[in-house]
Structure 1
Amino acid sequence: MASEQPKVPEQLKERRRAQALIRRKLRLHFIRYLSWRLKRIDESWRKPKGIDNKLRLQMKGFGRLVKVGYGSSSEIRGRHPSGLIPAVVSSIKDIEGLSPSTHIVYISAKVGLRKRLQLLEELRRRGFRVANGGE
């Protein structure tokens, strides 16, 4: 008999697949035209609008223009780099519909310290990963 592969749950297979896609996705950094040359220009993206702008004309060697085709696939869009689906929680009631194997939890910024500590304790007890747990 050949050695049998252990059964992997479907959710875990999907998560591993999403992680691989996220790792493989080419992350382009679109920077503002001439920000590499002029100190006063911030790197944050602004669409080039000048009539002679080489980047707007998409000339070779002047960087890339933001386009629809550079977006990530719908399978991984909005996912955490771990492959889990992010969920914002502000009370223990919000945890009810979530699963530790498919969700990663962010505790809302509007939650105070006392409630945050209660939430952290409950989330850890249920086996959730907390992205902003303060560790």
Structure 2
Amino acid sequence: MVKPTVSKAIVKKRTKRFTRHRYELFPQLSSSWRKPRGEDSPVRRRYKGQKAMPNKGYGSDRATKYITPSGFRSFPINNVEDLYMLVMQNRKYAGVISHTVGARKRKAIARKAMELDVRLANGNAKLRKIANQ
């Protein structure tokens, strides 16, 4: 199987999720981030000791942005012809077969990817192994 080109180590500036201010006091609120809009909100006013708000500074390094832990970037695959776009970039991109592709086409795509030496991130999805009968 093809190996990714060696690049910089992927460093995340923040791995903790940004949570909604005071969500723990109200069970009906979800923890997912919402921007505080209150006039007197200490989070919006960025007081010391309050929760951090997401901003540009937490973005990933440009060289490692969008790279998966396997070292490849993702490229959507809908049919066998899409694999030919990855032949010259097979050490940079890995194909991801779309959710809407059925089992028969998936099998053909997986077979062709092996021939072309293209990595598939989800090559075995929706396929069952049938034992010899």
TM-score (norm 1): 0.77
Query: Looking at both structures, which has the greater relative contact order when contacts are Cα pairs under 8 Å and sequence separation is at least 6?
Result: 2
Q: Secondary structure at the match of 1:94?
A: helix
Which protein has the bigger helix share?
A: 1
2:77 paired residue among 62, 69, 89 = 89
Q: Does 1:107 align with 2:97?
A: yes
1:119 paired residue among 104, 109, 119 = 109
Identity between Structure 1 and Structure 2 (%): 29
Moved over 3 A (4+): none
Alignment of 1:1-135 (within 5 A): 15-18=5-8, 20=9, 22=10, 24-26=11-13, 27-98=15-86, 99-134=89-124
Q: Which runs of 5+ in 1 are unaligned?
A: 1-10
Q: Which runs of 5+ in 2 are unaligned?
A: 126-133
Take 1:107 and 1:61, find their aligned partners in 2: how far apart are those partners? 45
Take 2:17 and 2:69, find their aligned partners in 1: how far apart are those partners? 17
The alpha carbon displacement at 1:81 in A equals 2.1
1:42 maps to amino acid = S
Take 1:30 and 1:51, find their aligned partners in 2: how far apart are those partners? 21
Change (3 A) 1:110 1:89: same
| Paired positions, count | 120
TM-score (norm 2): 0.78
Q: C-alpha root-mean-square deviation of aligned residues, in Å?
A: 2.0
2:67 maps to amino acid = R
